């Protein structure tokens, strides 16, 4: 039996395989942007992308392991050692779990450093990771994200100096899905800014790449994603609210 398609089958006759191409990560530039728009606009296409990702995930079994460097102390410093954790709950919501256990963490970090000292041939202590503060000419941007269906608009305030984003309470998610916030730079593709709290407001501290994307004119969008957020790095669920960033 031949593996080859009959020679008279032209590519034009092939079924639409864009979802598979997108899931594999083959597309770039305009094609990637077009596929992203289809993910946002066509639930069927989004489901197909998700199905491809699920199938392709079986290939992870074939990926060989490699001895990994011991980065754990560095990871801990980034998470708990920096002045502010990357994601914090708003004070109004609940006391953060980060601080009461600071003492416990110090011991853990010390233990981690000991491990590094005794397992690395040349222990080079890494300097604490300081958050990079981008100097902006306009430090505050605001947006009102309006739900596509009924619902209260969500107010977003972005402090560019601190790289922090605060959102008022959003009742966009349901029991089975998480609301995820995206920034879509003008003419660009969506990048995740983080997940919204189910109850109460949300505060997010952005990394340098996302800070660079937040500019007046950029679009903010909220999509509904599997619990835990989009597994793909791009929106996979319906967009339920959008709004544009503008200067105060």
Partner 1 sequence: MIDSTPRASVNSAAGTPEAARLRLVETLVRTGEEDRAAFRDLYSLTSAKLFGICYRICGERQAAEDVLHDVYLTIWKRAGAYEPARASPITWLATIARNRAIDWQRAQTVRRASPIEDAPPILDTAPLASDVLLEAESTHQLHACLDSLEERQRAAIRTAFFDGVTYAELAEREAVPLGTMKSWVRRGLARLKACLEG
User: Where do contacts with partner 1 occur on this chain (CB under 8 A)?
Assistant: 3-5, 11, 14-15, 17, 20-21, 24-28, 53, 55-69, 71-72, 74-76, 78-80, 86-87, 97, 101, 104-105, 108, 112, 178, 194-195, 226-229, 231-233
Please identify, using beta-carbon distances, which residue of 229 and 243 lies nearer to partner 1. 229
Give percent helix, percent strand, percent coil of the chain, each to the nearest 5. Answer: 30, 20, 45
Q: Which residues contact 53 (CB under 8 A, 6 or more apart)?
A: 23, 231, 232
Q: What counts of helices (H) and strands (E) characterise the chain?
A: 6, 10
Question: Least Å distance between CB 59 and partner 1?
Answer: 5
Please identify, using beta-carbon distances, which residue of 75 and 248 lies nearer to partner 1. 75
Length of the chain as a residue count: 248
Question: Least Å distance between CB 20 and partner 1?
Answer: 4
Question: Least Å distance between CB 23 and partner 1?
Answer: 9
Q: For residues 142 and 204, what is the distance between their CA atoms, to the nearest angstrom?
A: 14
Q: For residues 40 and 234, what is the distance between their CA atoms, to the nearest angstrom?
A: 9
Question: Least Å distance between CB 25 and partner 1?
Answer: 5
Please identify, using beta-carbon distances, which residue of 41 and 227 lies nearer to partner 1. 227
Question: Least Å distance between CB 229 and partner 1?
Answer: 6
Please identify, using beta-carbon distances, which residue of 128 and 233 lies nearer to partner 1. 233
How does 87-119 read in b/e, with b if 16+ C-beta sit within 10 Å? eebbeeeeeeeeeeeeeebeeebeebeeebeee
């Amino acid at each position: 039996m031949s593996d080859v398609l009959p020679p008279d089958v032209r590519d034009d006759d092939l079924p639409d395989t864009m979802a598979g191409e997108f899931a594999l990560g083959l597309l770039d530039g305009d094609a990637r942007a077009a596929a992203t728009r289809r993910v946002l606009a066509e639930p069927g296409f989004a489901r197909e992308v998700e199905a491809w990702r699920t199938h392709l995930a079986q290939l992870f079994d074939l990926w060989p392991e490699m001895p990994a460097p011991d980065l754990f102390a560095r990871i801990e410093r980034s998470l708990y050692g920096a002045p502010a954790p990357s994601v914090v709950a708003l004070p109004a919501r609940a006391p953060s779990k980060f601080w009461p256990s600071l003492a416990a963490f110090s011991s853990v970090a010390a233990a981690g450093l000991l491990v590094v000292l005794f397992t690395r041939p040349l222990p080079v202590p890494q300097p604490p990771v300081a958050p990079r503060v981008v100097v902006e000419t306009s430090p505050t941007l605001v947006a009102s994200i309006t739900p596509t269906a009924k619902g209260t608009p969500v107010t977003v305030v972005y402090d560019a100096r601190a790289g922090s984003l605060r959102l008022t309470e959003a009742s966009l998610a349901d029991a089975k899905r998480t609301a995820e916030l995206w920034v879509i730079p003008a003419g660009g593709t969506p990048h995740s800014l983080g997940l919204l709290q189910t109850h109460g407001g949300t505060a997010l501290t952005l990394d340098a790449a996302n800070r660079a994307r937040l500019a007046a004119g950029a679009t903010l969008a909220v999509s509904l994603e599997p619990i835990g957020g989009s597994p793909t790095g791009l929106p996979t669920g319906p967009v339920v609210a959008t709004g544009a960033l503008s200067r105060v």
